[in-house]
Amino acid sequence: MSLAARVRAQAKINLVLRVLAREASGYHSIETLLHRIDLADEVLVRVTSGRALDCTGPALPAGGLGPTGKNLAFRAATAYAERTGWPDGFAIELVKNIPVGAGLGGGSADAGAVLRALDELSPTPLGPRLVELASGLGADVPFLTTDSPMALAWGRGERLLLMRPIDTRTILLVVPDFPIATADAYAWLASERGEYMPTAAVIAADALGSWEAVAAMAVNDFQPVVARRHPRIAELVAVIESMDPILAMLAGSGSAVFGVFDEYPDPSAVVRTTGATVVRTRTSDRIERVERDD
């Protein structure tokens, strides 16, 4: 019987997302407050003799996810094999429930889930060093490789302060019919800023113990920039704001927007007004554990 493990790859929202200076490497430093939500992809990893990736699910785009070699989940498994010398082969099955290009970290969540699954199966697991491997894959992957529902992150997401989650709240996601590539969002931001480079703020973890405190400092540097290219984003945020949320903002680099609520609002008005896809979920107070399937 082959070794196998499965895990739900939870999406994330950024409650604070500030984009700082561009480094010599070409990547920007960030300062962000991340929180996992219950919406998740399903990930199954098997140790095999070859290397394969199969994707299905309701959120899979009509054109698929692009070349296998560029997929973050596949790249994560390849990076794990190169770092540890194990396994020789793997087969990954993804069921996509997280909208693609929506700023919810679906690809990063898949990558983090694959790393966690392989480490569970490995004869010599990396343990805490798994986050170091994740840092080379993308800014959200280190957080989505940890076992924490909430964290502050700096740099390229590799500097993490894991935090106790705030009390769970309802999340209403509104997803328009277009994705936004992260690279495009960064390019738009850079072109508008020119030579201006903001400096990091000082976010004290002990000041983030309530949703009221988070709402007071919630900001997403991408939101005004993306909304100028896609005015529909501002319209969707305004619709959510009219429903009296704790906060409403763009998810990551877009294109989804989200509202945090004390109770589930009636989404029918949002559907009727916007025609966008509406997803109801919650903030997570725990991480879905890896389950061996062999």
Does the residue 290 lie in any domain?
Answer: no
The CATH number given to whatever domain includes residue 136 is: 3.30.230.10
pLDDT, mean over the chain: 92
Q: How far is CA 41 from its chain centroid?
A: 11
How far apart are the C-alpha atoms of 226 and 130, rounded to whole Å? 33
> Are 89 and 63 in the same domain?
yes
262 is known as an active-site residue: no
Q: What is the pLDDT of residue 206?
A: 74
Per-residue tokens: 38:
């219950």
Tally of domains within the chain: 2
> Are 77 and 218 in the same domain?
no
Strand partners of residue 54 = 93
pLDDT digits (tens, 9 = 90+) for 232-276: 999 999 999 999 999 999 999 989 999 999 998 888 878 787 888
Output the DSSP codes for 46-99.
Answer: EEESSEEEEEESTT--TT-SS-GGG-HHHHHHHHHHHHH---SEEEEEEE--SP
pLDDT digits (tens, 9 = 90+) for 89-120: 999 999 999 999 999 999 999 999 999 999 99
> Are 150 and 253 in the same domain?
no
Does the residue 18 lie in any domain?
Answer: yes
pLDDT digits (tens, 9 = 90+) for 34-66: 999 999 999 999 999 999 999 999 999 988 999
Exactly one of 12, 41, 110, 119 is catalytic; which is it?
A: 12
Does the residue 202 lie in any domain?
Answer: yes
Per-residue tokens: 163:
């935090």
Q: Which of 163, 193, 210 is the last residue of a domain?
A: 163
Residues 253, 142, 8, 117: is their CA dihedral positive or negative? positive
140 is known as an active-site residue: yes
pLDDT digits (tens, 9 = 90+) for 129-180: 999 999 999 989 999 999 999 999 988 778 999 999 999 999 999 999 999 9
Query: Cα torsion for 253, 257, 262, 267, to the nearest 10°?
Result: -160
Burial 4-26 (b: 16+ CB within 10 A, else e): bbbbbbbbbbbbbbbbbeeeeee
How would you classify the pairing of strands 89-95 and 28-48?
antiparallel
pTM of the model: 0.94
- State which H helix or E strand residue 107 sits in: helix 106-121
How far apart are the C-alpha atoms of 234 and 8, rounded to whole Å? 31
> Are 231 and 247 in the same domain?
yes
> Are 126 and 229 in the same domain?
no
> Are 139 and 70 in the same domain?
yes
Q: Please, are residues 98 and 40 in contact by the beta-carbon 8 Å criterion?
A: yes
Output the DSSP codes for 201-268.
Answer: ----GGG-SSHHHHHHH-EETHHHHHHHH-HHHHHHHHHHHTT--SEEEE-TTSS-EEEEESS---TH
Does the residue 182 lie in any domain?
Answer: yes
Determine the structural domain holding residue 256 and report its residue range: 170-282
Single-letter code of the amino acid located at 254: G
> Are 216 and 82 in the same domain?
no
The CATH number given to whatever domain includes residue 238 is: 3.30.70.890
Per DSSP, the three-state class of 6 is strand
Exactly one of 110, 119, 140, 221 is catalytic; which is it?
A: 140
> Are 141 and 216 in the same domain?
no
> Are 99 and 122 in the same domain?
yes
Does the residue 289 lie in any domain?
Answer: no
